Structure 1
Amino acid sequence: MSEAYITRIAKFLPNESVSNEEMEEYLGYINGKPSKSKAIVLRNNGIKRRYYALLKDGTPTHTNAEMAALAVTDLFKNDADEIAQVDLLSCATSSPDQLMPSHGSMVHGYLPATGPIEVVSPSGVCCAGMHAFKYAYMSVKLGEKQKAVSCASERLSPVLRADQFEDEVQQLLRLEQNPYLSFEKDFLRWMLSDGAGAFLVEPKPNAEGISLKIEWIEGCSYANEQEACMYMGSDKLPDGSLKSYKEYSASEIQDQSVFSIKQDVKLLGEKIVKLGFAKLKDILTKKGISMEDVSYFLPHLSSYFFESKIDDFFNENGIPIPKEKWYTNLVTKGNVGAASIYMMLEEVFNSGALKKGEKILLAVPESSRFSYMFCLLTVC
């Protein structure tokens, strides 16, 4: 088999960064009032800035597919003609612009210079970006592709806007119930961000500068054991099952904001760390890797609240990793879902700080139904 290397990384962030104080100017005020949960959530998640692909009046500035295409295009900024050599486009998102056609096909539509090529669209949430990456990695490693691009992007800001919840709030008011959305619905409004990232994967490292050799990519799902924790386009029933939007009437979808993103916060806190990072310990043992071998640890975090939980787990299980080896950009970029790990690695890769021989461990937990992806890279 061939080897596979990340030779370039690029990202795209829409518009200017948005501060905590400005968020509701973009997302709006539910029932005309500031959110009661916003301050609590922001204090716990530690996010200070994020990006939205829309203006304050809700006017969109970019589609999801367009942002992904702009990140891919940036991979070839030094030689625009080189994009014609790409032979695979592997695109992931949890927030496609439409149900059909596939997200990958829509991204390809913004990239006519690539010509007719293979396109795939892994679905999912945060792990989807790693699934797209693994498909590119395996295609290159098998010798089937020579210049594979994987990308991940999110555009969730439109479904976070207050007008998506107003009908439900008004219905609650008419029923004289407490006129606020449940914490499960309001929780994610203050965490999510828009943007895109892209990797170029090739069978040979760069002749000059650095590349990242892909040592392995491992994934695991606990959906056979756990009910859904984060969901959209459905509602959770008392027995833990999901009722699809297809089973609601048009008025019910609107009145109950079925297409809002919901998070079972209690289940999240109980499961997200101990399930996935126990699996990481098993993977490291199987691969013969010690945390002492790792120079950089890049965990995708939805909130800094989980940083100490992960650290405690590592220490309790005999696989400590010093905090100086950790790197995350959650505070300045927000949670960009499937694209977060791309943006973190882009900053490290293009920082000028990496030295040949150093190892980078990527960890991506996904709370939707508890899936995890891990990857080890070597700087070369």
Structure 2
Amino acid sequence: MIGKRQPAVAGAEITALSIEFPQQIRDNNFWIRNHPDLVTSEEEGAFVRLLASTEHRAADELFDAERSPYLQDVFRGARERRVLSAGEGTLDLELRALENLFRARGVAPADVDAVIVASFLPDTFGPQNAAYLTHRLGMTVPAWNFESAQNSSLVGLQNAAALVRAGEYERIAVVVSNALTRVIDPADTLSWFLGDGAGAFLVEPCSEGSGVLGAKLIGTQETCGAYTFPLEVEPGTKTARVRLRVGELTPGMVMRDDAGLQVRTCVHGALEKSGYAIEDVDFFVFTTPVAWMAPYFTKTLGVGPDKTISTYPSYANVGAALVPANLFHAAESGRIKPGDLVVLFGVGSISTAGALVMRWGEVALGPVPEHGVPVPESEQIAGGKETNR
């Protein structure tokens, strides 16, 4: 007997949201204690090249003005970063995020029809995390991997909503994670701006006029070469490790040169598709890969600073988990309420940028992340070879 597909539905919405972070924290004192020379000579580091490049295609006085105060801070506005402990992987973060998601919504793993996962970077080469993640929970539903770098949460939400509206699945879990601290030496200034984390959300049917209302995505092919992940042999050993390297076209140049056009194109495009204008939006959730991006985006769009949030000081740049983290904390603090019109905006290098408009509903939230603990003294590196500076 041929199975029947669910009929198409009017809409799709987020019904539950959770975020997860490692317990270990690297605060700024970690580098002051363990790498004092690196802190005092940071002018030539990769981190500075990343965030303060002066080689640009065009003038953006607003970006320069918002960035300027942070250039006086060695750590550029970051205070804490969550980092994976020894033996911990993205799969562990994703598992906890997914379990908390199901618990918040009051559903069992068997109640979910599909799981899609974006792990950046996954725990293994070859088959990535999706099948392993669902296997740990005893799930046998379709589970597959996708990737759109830092913009994976928006791409995942857009795809899940489309599949639910089409009637292919009734309940889809989307999981995203970021774990770049594993491919950065703590003696590299680039480690100052990166953290690890994960987010998960459930997408289910809803009535017309609610949930996801429209989206606008564009490609970011112009950022090819912003960074690479070469396999390098550790000096003095025969051990090879994957390392994150900044390219000649630095992400800092990319942000300054492209972010304004990207946010205007995507946000206004998504609003036009949804039948709304910028003044109709109650709250904006932006990706915040650096400390000044939230105010830069609001001023670029001509909206007030009270209409957004940034968790960058607490988490630093957690890639694809940035939008879920900002969205979670906005909802948990009451800044987003049921019925609000919310715009999400994300951007990833060598992937996509996009905005998504949705009517926020009754969303079940996972637990607020517990405050972490400093990296144990036994895991702190007193020396460390500066390989990328």
Give the TM-score category using the shorter length: 0.7 to 0.9
Distance in 2 separating the partners of 1:284 and 1:326: 17
Structure 1 position 95 matched with structure 2 position 115: no
| Matched-pair contact (CA < 8 Å) for 2:116–2:143 | yes
Structure 2 matches for 1:336-351, cutoff 5 A? 336-351=318-333
Corresponding position of 2:229: 233
Corresponding position of 2:379: none
Structure 1 position 148 matched with structure 2 position 202: no
Structure 2 matches for 1:214-293, cutoff 5 A? 214-223=212-221, 226-234=222-230, 259-262=243-246, 264-265=250-251, 267-280=253-266, 281-293=268-280
Corresponding position of 1:374: 355
Unaligned stretches of 5+ residues in structure 2: 1-7, 52-69, 362-389
Unaligned stretches of 5+ residues in structure 1: 166-185, 206-211, 235-244, 315-319
The TM-score with structure 1 as length reference comes to 0.75
Corresponding position of 2:384: none
Structure 2 matches for 1:79-118, cutoff 5 A? 82-112=108-138, 115-118=139-142
| Matched-pair contact (CA < 8 Å) for 1:273–1:309 | no
Distance in 1 separating the partners of 2:110 and 2:313: 36
**Cα displacement string for residues 22-43 of structure 1 (whole angstroms, at most 9, x for unaligned residues):** 2577xx649x855732896673
Q: CA deviation at 1:346?
A: 1.6
Q: CA deviation at 1:229?
A: 4.7
Corresponding position of 1:123: 147
Query: Quick one: which amino acid aligns to residue 116 of structure 2?
Result: S
Corresponding position of 1:134: 158
Q: CA RMSD in A?
A: 3.3
Distance in 2 separating the partners of 1:199 and 1:308: 26
| Matched-pair contact (CA < 8 Å) for 1:91–1:129 | no
Q: CA deviation at 1:282?
A: 3.8
**Cα displacement string for residues 69-108 of structure 1 (whole angstroms, at most 9, x for unaligned residues):** 1101001225776221111101112211112112222322
2:103 partner SS: coil
Query: Quick one: which amino acid aligns to residue 379 of structure 1?
Result: W
Query: Quick one: which amino acid aligns to residue 228 of structure 1?
Result: C
C-alpha distance 121-51 of structure 1, shift in aligned 2 (>3 A): same
Structure 2 matches for 1:40-79, cutoff 5 A? 43=73, 45-54=76-85, 59-60=86-87, 62-77=88-103
Q: CA deviation at 1:312?
A: 4.2
C-alpha distance 204-187 of structure 1, shift in aligned 2 (>3 A): same
Distance in 1 separating the partners of 2:257 and 2:155: 22
Moved more, 257-266 or 120-129: 257-266
1:4 partner SS: strand
Corresponding position of 2:370: none
**Cα displacement string for residues 116-160 of structure 1 (whole angstroms, at most 9, x for unaligned residues):** 111121123101222222222111111111111001111222212
Query: Quick one: which amino acid aligns to residue 27 of structure 2?
Result: S
Q: How many residues align?
A: 323
Percent identical across equivalent pairs? 19
Corresponding position of 1:36: 41
| Matched-pair contact (CA < 8 Å) for 2:294–2:309 | no
Corresponding position of 2:56: none
C-alpha distance 91-252 of structure 1, shift in aligned 2 (>3 A): farther
1:77 partner SS: helix
Q: CA deviation at 1:303?
A: 0.7
Q: CA deviation at 1:64?
A: 0.4
**Cα displacement string for residues 184-217 of structure 1 (whole angstroms, at most 9, x for unaligned residues):** xx45311111111100111148xxxxxx711123
Aligned mate of 1:358, from 330, 340, 347 = 340
Moved more, 325-334 or 40-49: 40-49
The TM-score with structure 2 as length reference comes to 0.73
Corresponding position of 1:241: none
